[in-house]
Amino acid sequence: MTGAATLVDGAPMFALSEDQQAIRMAVRELVEARVAPYAGEVDEQARFPEEAFKALAAADFDAPHIPEEFGGAGADALATCLVIEEVARGCASSSLIPAVNKLGTLPLLIAGSSELKQHYLPQVARDHLMFSYCLSETESGSDAAAMRTRAVRDGDDYVITGAKKWITNAGESAFYTVFAVTDPNARTHGITAFVVERGDPGVSFGAPERKLGIKGSPTREVFLDEVRVPAWRRIGEEGSGFGLAMRTLDHTRVTIAAQAVGIAQGALDFALRYAQERQQFGHPIADFQGMQFMLADMGIRIEAARQLTYAAAGRSERGDRDLTFFGAAAKCFAADVAMQVTTDAVQVLGGYGYTHDYPVERMMRDAKITQIYEGTNQVQRIVAARQLLAGIQAELH
């Protein structure tokens, strides 16, 4: 499924296809009926959004990117972003179900053997089991090459020992893409990826982190105590893990941009309704020019972030050479927009916006993480700058 490109007066214009518009509306209707009504409760109780998971799974929106040959819906990168955006519009925590399923399984799709794909991907698509991504460690965040988790070859197996930090949906997911050092002397060329199962002996989880936002998506440490993994569960060649992790993030940063756009849109939607209903000085506050300027800026920023995200999604689907720049740019810009728009939404509501009685304060808390995970926005700016200095923008015109 791809967008329709047309020419108007010689200039290219992008628009969603009818199929993509249908996907958006199908997800929106599902979210409004079966996801958004539980978002506040999920946040208050800091519990996994079971209602959302069941609804998304029933409609095959929990992992829409899985190819049809493995029992999935076969959604392309843009359609997957539409799903994530619409879910995030109602509940940011729930949007991490399709987003993290893509993050966890993409290494298999990029570099996994036929055996590995055939074994795991149908379980995600048909059985609706979740897949998490284990890269970060306590002393290895932005500097992924500094990881200490070790994988030692032992006959037909690898024995993995270490701990992974900040793992989204840990404990809920059945499967984990784990990056570990197989050659400590080779630095980035000594890292390898594996599939670890929740039920493997030696796998355990830390207590859920107490977080500012996305409280419905559990974030926990994953402990690996001499976990024995058969060699067929290795993803790609030994030593290829670092490059695979970076290639994966090039694609999945686009999904975080989509999440950020969705959060921002949800906040603007609520702020617009409130501004038209709230009366001050005998008029709806939407009648006042200062409020109109604020709302206009919110809408303009969101649409700019949306278009950049969709452009990045197209490059993700095609595997364009400038994907690294566009993935970093979309994630960075959309996340900053989400933080600005949700903060402004709280301002629109005034004192009410600061209370748990209204959803915009939750959206503001949820938005913050989009500036941090899958590479902080400072790191995204470094990535984008390096791409520019390497001359990538010469290919954009």
Segment holding 195, helix H or strand E: strand 191-197
Q: What is the pTM of this model?
A: 0.95
What is the average pLDDT score of the chain?
95
Give buried/exposed letters for 235-258 (b at 16+ CB in 10 A, else e).
bbebbbbbbbbebbbbbbbbbbbb
Q: Which domains does the chain have, with CATH numbers?
A: 4-125 (1.10.540.10), 131-239 (2.40.110.10), 242-395 (1.20.140.10)
Residue range 9-22, pLDDT digits in tens: 444 445 788 999 99
- Tens digits of residue pLDDT in 54-71: 999 999 999 999 999 999
To which H or E segment does residue 52 belong?
helix 50-58
**Mean pLDDT along residues 171-198:** 97
Query: How is residue 237 annotated by DSSP?
Result: S
Mean pLDDT over residues 199-208, rounded? 98
Active-site annotation, residues: 374
CA pair distance 60, 46, nearest whole angstrom: 25
The whole-number pLDDT of residue 393 equals 82
* Both structure tokens of 266: 């949800």
pLDDT in tens, 247-281: 999 999 999 999 999 999 999 999 999 999 999 99
For 359-391, how does the pLDDT look when each residue is reduced to its tens digit (9 = 90+)?
999 999 999 999 999 999 999 999 999 999 999
Please report the pLDDT score of residue 107 as a whole number.
Answer: 98
Torsion of CA 33, 36, 41, 44, to 10 degrees: 180
pLDDT at 396 over 90: no
How many angstroms separate the Cα of 30 from the Cα of each of 36, 51, 87? 9, 11, 9
Is the pLDDT confidence value at 346 over 50? yes
Cβ-contact 304, 333 below 8 angstroms: yes
Determine the Cα–Cα distance for residues 172 and 254; give it in Å rounded to an integer.
24
- What confidence tens digit (pLDDT) does each residue in 71-94 have? 999 999 999 999 999 999 999 999
pLDDT score, position 5: 45
